[in-house]
Structures are given as C-alpha cells and as structure tokens.
Structure 1
Amino acid sequence: MAASESYEFAWICEVDPSTGSVMPRAEAGAEGYLKEISLSIDLDSPAGRGPTGKAIRTHETQVANAFEDADFEPWREYAEQYGYQSAAAIPIVHDGTLYGVMGVYADRPKAFDDQEASVISQVGEVVGHAIAAGERKQALMSDELVELKFQIRDIFAALDISAETDGTITLEHTVPVDDGEFLVYGTATQNAIDTVARATETIPHWQDLTIRSEGDSTSFEIRMTDPPVLSVVASLGGSVEQAVIEDGDYQCTIHLSPSVDVRRVTDAVEAAYPDVEMLRRRQISRDHDDSKHFQRHLVETLTDRQQTALETAYHAGFFEWPRDASGEDVAESIGVAPPTFHQHLRKAERKVIDAVFSSPIQSVG
C-alpha cells in the first residue's frame, strides 16, 4: 500500500483484548510516526475516538481528514509534521473476528471518498480471510491441541425455552456453508426431538430444522446463522468436537490450535451463556493414527467448496442407500444449484479416490 503513488504510509496493528491496548506490528513508508502517537480502543479517551479506535469497535472502515475532523485532534500535530492530510483505518475481519486494523495515510485532503474506501475495505477482507485460512490449516495439521470443556446446567431455563428436559440431544458435526452460516448435524432420542423443534423456533440463530431419518434415534440438520460461539471457534480454525444436552444439562468440548488466543473463545462463550461453567482446559496430543493423519492431509487438498459439498453430502445421508437426502436436497442446503453441487462433489470424490489409489501397489509373494 505504502509503495503505491496514492499513499504515503501504511501500518498494521493488533489489539490485546485483555488490556485494550493497540500494538503496532508492521509499518511501511515512514519511520517515527507511530512512536509519536498513542492509540486506544476506549471511547472515553481522546486517543480512542479516531479512525483506528472506531474501526476496532465497529469492524467497519473509518476515514478522517486530519485538519477538519475534530476527533483527529490528538494526532493533528504529528500528521502535519509528516505531511499527512487524510487517514483511513481498515479492519482486518473475517466471520466477525477482528484480527487487527490497517492504517493508511495520504498527503492529499479527502483522499478516501466512498469509492476508494470501498476498494481498500476489500483489502482488509482479503487479509482477514487469508489469516483465518492459515489458522484453520495450522489447527488441522497441529499435533497439539488445546481442549476446552464447558457445562450449562438446565440450558433450556437459561435460554428461556419451555421444553421437556428428558432425553438426549447430540450435535455431532458442523459444516461451514457461507460467511456466518453453518449446517449442524445431530441426533435426538424420540423423547427429545420435539425439544429440538422448539429450540429452533426460539433461539434466534437456529434458522431451519430438517429431519433426515427417524427411528430409535432421529437424525436432523439445523441451519444456523451467526451462532456466537461457533462463528468464533470456526474463524480461529477450531472445532466443536461434540455438544450434548442430556436431561437438560449441556456440555460441549472445543478443540483449538495452541497458537490461538483462547480468551477470544472463552469471552464469546461467557457472553452468549452467562451461566456457563468451564469444566476443563488442557493441552492434549492428537492420536498418532495414520488414518487420521492421512485424512487431515486429504482435507487440505480440497477447496472450501469441495469440502463443503462432500461433508454436507456425507452427513445429510446422500451416500446412504436408500438416500436420506437427494442431490437437490444437499444443493438447497448449501445454497447452490444442483449442477454446481454435483460438479464440486465429483471433483472432491476424484481427489479422495486419487489419494487412496495413487500410491504404488506393492506386490505380495
């Protein structure tokens, strides 16, 4: 950014959620400016009312004119000293998770009109997506994991849901479909499936319930939109290994990469469920199972769309006989046309088959 003729200076900062401090991580185009200024996320502090503080709080791009905007007053002297007349703060965000803010400065007034602000905002989205993808890959390939286990007593009362507390509901698999949207697959005992339906009607981010198969245990699919905990965990490359509601009491286990800021997850859990109790936090090692190691490497070869198509088809029962879900059903679940679903599925199947059969076969005898 700083190397272009349009801008004079660019920098990237991170936010320490425990202290609220803003920490510069990289800069280009000028030296010394960041040493002169102070920044904050505190709205009550003048240092927190500029474009950077606003971008951190709102997750939206903010622009300022150094010599016209009153909120820029704490940095006006230094902007004049370095020749900056306009500034923009672009949040680096993916799926609601803020990774940092990129500041960009220009030597001309009102440099960031609506069109230019829209263009540079896309840079923040691209960088955020790349960071999230890197964290997901690191979590997928890491041999060490952080395990968190939470419990909520009488979760239906905590969520103000009038429901029977008998029976067991298990949320077993999660497939990210789009930004902020997930398909969650689970099972419920016969005396608990009505409770799942009532929860879907009551919990705002539980959008749609689809029954996939019935018997002693009923299989179901729930579409969730912006679930507060799941969104944060997924954006950090983690996974909710299993969530179980048994006789009204809820427990869930979350796995994260050791490099992840665990507090972001615990804060999200506590904000969504004030009555939650953390039962366990520990570091664990993955089982040294060749099949699981092979599976992780195989998943790495799939594109996001191919993985979504394959996982959704599998968990929805597309590969069962008779099928629990048709190609049209799965396509509708992931929001694409049936031919598009089949195209992604066929490419994913080819990669799986290639991985299984491409190794040389050793002769025996």
Structure 2
Amino acid sequence: MKREITLRENERELEQQRDSLAALNNLHEVARDITDAAIEQSTREEIERTVCEHLAASESYEFAWICEVDPSTGSVMPRAEAGAEGYLKEISLSIDLDSPAGRGPTGKAIRTHETQVANAFEDADFEPWREYAEQYGYQSAAAIPIVHDGTLYGVMGVYADRPKAFDDQEASVIGQVGEVVGHAIAAGERKQALMSDELVELKFQIRDVFAALDISAETDGTITLEHTVPVDDGEFLVYGTATQNAIDTVARATETIPHWQDLTIRSEGDPTSFEIRMTDPPVLSVVASLGGSVEQAVIEDGDYQMTIHLSPSVDVRRVTDAVEAAYPDVEMLRRRQISRDHDDSKHFQRHLVETLTDRQQTALETAYHAGFFEWPRDASGEDVAESIGVAPPTFHQHLRKAERKVIDAVFSSPIQSVG
C-alpha cells in the first residue's frame, strides 16, 4: 500500500513537471507573439487588450487581466481582460496591507513591484478569492507588475488551471512579459505626447529650494536648466547655464544632491555653460517615462520655478505626486491646457525625431548641447562619447547615421527657387 501511494505521488509529480515544461515552452512562444503584437499597437488600450487576449488564448492560461491603481482612493480598477467573463465582478481587491483583499498576489505586486505567485487552494493569503477561483477552475495565479523606468503602470494578472503553476522559470519568463508591456506603454505615451496637438502645462514654484534640499549655498544669481538628454535607463544629461555668482552653487548642489552625479564645465564666462549627469532624478524620471518634458527650470535668487508639458492622456497625478515627494513645500502656480505651436518648423522637427533611433537621437542631441558643433568645439567626440557611455567609434557611427537622416530630410524634397 505504501509503495502504491509513493508511485501515485511520483506520477503526480512527473505529470506536474510535464505540464510545467509544456507551459514554459508555450509561454516562450506566447511571449514572442506578445512582444511583436505590443510593438505594433499605438495606444495603451490596444496594447493591454492585445496582451490579455494572447495570454488567455494560449494553451497554458485560462484568464488574463490588467489593472491599475487609483492613487486618490487606493482602489484597484480593471483596464482590460480576456478569458472567462464574470470573475472580476465577483472579487474585490485593495492595496491596503491591513485588508485581506490587499494581501493577495495583486496587492503584493503593487507594493513590491515584483512578480507574485499563489496556489489558490494552499496559500492562506488567497482565501478571500478561493471560492470564486474554484468556481471558475483556477488553481494558480500570478500577478506581474507592469513597470518601466521605475513607473508602475499597473499589474497583469494571469490564471492557470494547473496546480502549482508558475515555478521559478515560468514566473521569470512571464515577468519579462510584464517588462515588455511596460516598455510598450511607455513608448506609446512618449509618441503620443510628441505628436499630440494639445498639451497639459504644469508650473511649480519652490521657494528657497536650497534650504528645502538642505544645501548650504549662496542664493544669489540665476541657474537655468535648459536641455535634457536621456542616455540610459534612469540616466540623463542635463545642460544649463549659471551666472558667475551662481556657478559655485551648482558645484555645491552636485556634491550634495544624491542623484546629481557629475558636473562638467563646458564653457566659462558669464553665464557659464555646464553639463550635469543625473541618475534616477525623482521628477525628471517620471516626466520622461510619461513622454513629457521639462520646458523650463530656473532657480533665481534661490527660488525655483519649473514648467512641465504632458500629453492630455497622461495621469497628471503621477507627476504632481513625484514633485510633492521631492519638494514637500512646492506650490502649483498653474495648470492649464494649451495648444502646441503649429509652426511648420516644429512639425518638421517632430517628424524628424521619429525617424531617428534612440541611440542616434542621444548622440545627436548630446553632441549639439555639449558644443560639439561649435567652432572651436566646446567638446570633442571623445568627450561626448564618454558622456553617453560609448566608445568614440560607436558615437561617431551613431552621429554619422543621424546626420545622414537629417540631411536626407532637408534635401529629399525639391527646394523651391526664390526670386
């Protein structure tokens, strides 16, 4: 009898291993399909719907959904779903750790930004949803955070009819699907922000910003942060100027503010031009991830004013929350919707940027703002290559390709004669 029990247990274990291997092989194929499909979609809604449909239609999973969190209420709201209908109407979810509805895989994924898995009939934290999971035939669940550049866009829930699904390998692969979705959503929002004719403008003021940041520095003079170039995930080059009585303050700030890494003086004078390397700046990272831009950032006699432009489709609260977290005493001076300048040159510029790869745009923008095209040059090719973290030949290769696209765009159409 004991031998028969052992044999049955071994058979069940082998069956689970076969199921897991088959699911993993299927998931690799589904992940490739999702990557291709997500890139082709133009809106966040299309991306989320496509991902859920691919997962639910696979051989490995029964149901998939994507949710987001309302930061004002803490409630979890579905955005897309595919598979069995009705399950989401039966359950309640929360991000509150003190609530049983917030202790399951979805709540944990929201709080930790890490993939969470659960066995519907064994994990105590899954008890609030066990009855409905049994009703719909779900035995395992995974909650995958949709994150890009530190921004949580939501959580992807996936359900299987297999017991103990989502082993380490399967959880790792499906976690990568979440990364793909996050990247696709971020790219879509950036493109939408670039092409949108309407913009939301936010203007903030932080009085005595150096005291707010606990920096001992002179408050006289003017510091202007003029241009920002993203060079890597979470890493930016910021170009600006400072009057002679403020450049020492820039140096002091670079030594004090954790995400201000390196200061390079590009040209001395009044004003002095500089470059600052920033890593994971709390406000700039959020704005960039949403496809927005910091249009103006000026510190004058210690008071800091910052103007941000965003697409109307963006959740503005994510930006205001980031600003308030970085500067608790911030004051919002203005929030308004504006129309983008319809100047033909601006339209041409936006169209041209679309033709460049990220690396080409980074090389070209950094070279321009660093003074590579000035005569005499403020920065050599080696300087620019070091700034963006590539070898000089690689920089020149990206720059040459970008220059060719710019020249093609200018001269590909016949030039109308004048006179």
Same fold (TM over 0.5): yes
Return the alpha-carbon distance in structure 1 between the equivalents of residues 363 and 182 of structure 2: 23
Residue 417 of structure 2 is aligned to residue 363 of structure 1: yes
Q: Residue deviations 1:330-351, cap 9 Å, x none?
A: 1111111222211111111111
Q: Residue deviations 1:82-113, cap 9 Å, x none?
A: 22111111111111111111101111222112
Return the alpha-carbon distance in structure 2 between the equivalents of residues 41 and 128 of structure 1: 20
Residue 34 (structure 1) aligns with: 88
Compute the RMSD of aligned alpha carbons: 1.2
Residue 136 of structure 2 is aligned to residue 52 of structure 1: no
CA-CA distance at 1:303 after TM superposition: 1.2
- 1:2 alignment partner, SS class: helix
Q: How does 1:264-303 map to 2 (within 5 A)?
A: 264-303=318-357
Q: Residue deviations 1:110-148, cap 9 Å, x none?
A: 211222111111111111111111111111111111111
CA-CA distance at 1:230 after TM superposition: 0.5
CA-CA distance at 1:195 after TM superposition: 0.6
Larger radius of gyration: 2
Return the alpha-carbon distance in structure 1 between the equivalents of residues 225 and 235 of structure 2: 16
Return the alpha-carbon distance in structure 1 between the equivalents of residues 297 and 333 of structure 2: 14
CA-CA distance at 1:292 after TM superposition: 0.9
Q: Decide which structure has greater helix share.
A: 2
Tell me which moved more, 305-314 or 21-30: 21-30
Residue 204 (structure 2) aligns with: 150
CA-CA distance at 1:29 after TM superposition: 2.0
Return the alpha-carbon distance in structure 1 between the equivalents of residues 76 and 208 of structure 2: 39
Residue 244 (structure 1) aligns with: 298
Q: Residue deviations 1:313-339, cap 9 Å, x none?
A: 111111111111111111111111222
CA-CA distance at 1:363 after TM superposition: 4.6
CA-CA distance at 1:364 after TM superposition: 5.5
Query: Once the two structures are aligned, what percentage of the paired residues are identical?
Result: 99
Residue 65 (structure 1) aligns with: 119
Return the alpha-carbon distance in structure 1 between the equivalents of residues 172 and 380 of structure 2: 40
- 1:259 alignment partner, SS class: coil
Q: Residue deviations 1:40-95, cap 9 Å, x none?
A: 11111111111111111111111111122111111111111222111111111111
Return the alpha-carbon distance in structure 2 between the equivalents of residues 266 and 132 of structure 1: 18
Return the alpha-carbon distance in structure 2 between the equivalents of residues 98 and 48 of structure 1: 17
Return the alpha-carbon distance in structure 2 between the equivalents of residues 42 and 305 of structure 1: 41
Q: Residue deviations 1:18-52, cap 9 Å, x none?
A: 22111112212212211111111111111111111
Return the alpha-carbon distance in structure 2 between the equivalents of residues 65 and 214 of structure 1: 63
Q: Residue deviations 1:282-301, cap 9 Å, x none?
A: 11112221111111111111
- 1:54 alignment partner, SS class: helix
- 1:122 alignment partner, SS class: helix
The counterpart of 2:358, out of the listed 294, 304, 307, is 304
Return the alpha-carbon distance in structure 1 between the equivalents of residues 109 and 243 of structure 2: 46
TM-score (norm 1): 0.97
Residue 288 (structure 2) aligns with: 234
Residue 76 (structure 2) aligns with: 22
Against the structure 1 CA distance between its residues 234 and 329, is the aligned structure 2 distance closer, same or farther, given a 3 Å change threshold? same
Return the alpha-carbon distance in structure 1 between the equivalents of residues 300 and 262 of structure 2: 22
Tell me which moved more, 233-242 or 78-87: 78-87
Ranges of 4+ aligned residues in structure 1 off by more than 6 Å: none
Return the alpha-carbon distance in structure 2 between the equivalents of residues 48 and 19 of structure 1: 14
Return the alpha-carbon distance in structure 2 between the equivalents of residues 327 and 28 of structure 1: 51
CA-CA distance at 1:166 after TM superposition: 0.8
TM-score (norm 2): 0.85
CA-CA distance at 1:269 after TM superposition: 0.5
CA-CA distance at 1:305 after TM superposition: 1.1
Runs (5+) with no aligned partner, structure 1: none
Q: Residue deviations 1:152-182, cap 9 Å, x none?
A: 1111111110001111110000011111111
Return the alpha-carbon distance in structure 2 between the equivalents of residues 140 and 29 of structure 1: 35
- 2:276 alignment partner, SS class: strand
CA-CA distance at 1:361 after TM superposition: 2.7
- 2:56 alignment partner, SS class: coil
